[in-house]
Structure 1
C-alpha cells in the first residue's frame, strides 16, 4: 500500500512539473526604441518589471523634454527623462503583461512585452486598437 501511495505522489509531481509553464525570457536591461529616439531601461520593481526612459538619443529642448501631452494638466510639466512608462509587468506564459504610458500622445495602455531572439517586442493596446514595436539592445 505504501508503494502505491509513493508511486501516486511521484506521478502527481511529474504531472504538475510537466504542465508548469516556463517563465518568459528576461526583458531586463536597456533597449533602444524602434524610432531610435530613446533608450528604455527595464528593471525589477518589487515582484514585477518596470520600464523608464533612461536616455534620449536626440537633442532635448532647453530645460528638458516634458510630459506635455499628459491628460492630467498637473503632470504636464514633469520631465520625461527618468519617467516610468511601464509598470506591473508580470510573467504570463511567454510574455510579461502590465500597464504602459506613451508620453508622445498621453495615452495609457495595456502592455505586453516579450523577447524574440535579440529583439524586444512591445505591444500596446487601447480598447481594440493595438500596435507592436520592436526594440533592440542598447
Structure 2
C-alpha cells in the first residue's frame, strides 16, 4: 500500500511533464531585422517554413532594391522586395533548420531559427563560421 501511495504522484508527474524535444515555437508573422532595415515575413510553405522580405524600413533606390551582390550574375536584376531569403526550414528539436540567403553579402548559408520570447534568433553558418542575430516582432 505504501508503494502505491508514491507511484500515483510519480505517474501523474510523467503525464504532465514537458517533452524533452518539444516542437519549436511558431515563427510565423513579421519580424524586423537586427539592423532595422527590413521586415521579414515567415510563413508556411508546404510542410516547412519560409521567409521573404516583405518591406523595407529605409528608402529604396529608384526602381527598387535589386539583388546586386548575388554571385549569379543572371539574378542581380531581381527585386529584393518579396524575395524568399529563408526556405526549407523544418522543425528540428526546438529550432527550425534550413537554408538562407543574405542579399547584402550575396551569400547562401545554413540557417537555424528559433523563438526566444518575443524575439527571433537567426543563425547563419558558412562552413564553420556562424553568426547569430536577433529579429524583433513587428
Q: Same fold (TM over 0.5)?
A: yes
Over 6 Å off, 4+ runs: none
Aligned positions of 1:36-47 closer than 5 A: 36-47=36-47
Structure 2 stretches lacking a partner, 5+ long: 1-13
Name 1:112's counterpart in structure 2.
Answer: 112
Shift of 1:21: 2.4
> 1:72 is matched with which residue?
72
CA RMSD after TM alignment: 1.5
Question: What are the residue-to-residue correspondences of 1:1-138 with 2, within 5 Å?
Answer: 21-138=21-138
- Helix, strand or coil at the partner of 2:109: strand
Aligned residues: 123
Q: Distance in 2 between matches of 1:96 and 1:133?
A: 15
Aligned to 2:3: none
Task: Provide the rounded CA distance (Å) in 2 between the counterparts of 1:19 and 1:55.
Answer: 37
**Partner of 1:6 in structure 2?**
none
Instruction: Provide the secondary structure at the position in 2 that maps to 1:88.
Output: strand
Gaps of 5+ in 1: 1-13
Cα pair distance change 1:19/1:120, threshold 3 Å = closer
Deviation at 1:22, TM superposition (A): 1.4
- Cα distance in structure 2, aligned partners of 1:24 and 1:79: 31
Instruction: Give SS of 2:124's match.
Output: strand
Q: Give the distance between the partners of 1:19 and 1:25, measured in 2 at CA.
A: 14
- SS of 2:74's partner is helix
Q: Matched residue of 1:74: which SS?
A: helix
**TM-score w.r.t. length of structure 2:** 0.86
